[in-house]
Amino acid sequence: MNNRTYERVLLKLSGESLMGEDSFGINRSSIIRITDEITKVMSLGISLAIVIGGGNIFRGVAPGAQGMDRATADYMGMMATVMNALALKDALKYSGIDVRVQSALNIEQIVEPYIRPKALRYLDEGKLVIFAAGTGNPFFTTDTAAALRAAEIGAEVVIKATKVDGIYNTDPIKDVNAIRYSHISFDEAIVRQIAVMDATAFALCRDQKIPIKVFSINKANALLRVITGKDEGTLVHI
Segments forming the whole domain that contains residue 209: 8-237
Going by the annotation, the residues of the binding site for ATP are 12-15, 55, 59, 162, 168, 171
| Cβ atoms of 78 and 160 closer than 8 Å | no
- pTM equals 0.93
- E strand intervals along 25-121: 47-52, 99-103, 112-113
Average pLDDT of the segment spanning 114-126: 98
In a domain, 124, yes or no: yes
In a domain, 187, yes or no: yes
Looking at residue 4, its pLDDT comes to 67
In a domain, 2, yes or no: no
Sequence-distant (≥ 6) Cβ neighbours of residue 136 within 8 angstroms: 78, 103, 104, 105, 114
Average pLDDT of the segment spanning 219-231: 93
Summarised one tens digit per residue, pLDDT across range 184-221 is: 999 988 888 888 898 899 999 999 999 999 999 999 99
Looking at residue 64, its pLDDT comes to 65
Q: Decide the pairing of beta strands 99-103 and 112-113.
A: parallel
Residue of 20 and 45 predicted with greater confidence: 45
Looking at residue 13, its pLDDT comes to 96
Domains held by the chain: number: 1
In a domain, 1, yes or no: no
How far is 8 from 195, CA to CA, in rounded Å? 25
Summarised one tens digit per residue, pLDDT across range 6-17 is: 999 999 999 999
Summarised one tens digit per residue, pLDDT across range 54-66 is: 988 877 666 666 7
Going by the annotation, the residues of the binding site are 12-15, 54-55, 59, 74, 135-142, 162, 168, 171
Q: Is the pLDDT of residue 48 over 80?
A: yes
Going by the annotation, the residues of the binding site for UMP are 54, 74, 135-142
Residue of 127 and 179 predicted with greater confidence: 127
CA-nearest of 78, 91, 36 to 219 is 36
In a domain, 118, yes or no: yes
Looking at residue 8, its pLDDT comes to 97
In a domain, 21, yes or no: yes
In a domain, 102, yes or no: yes
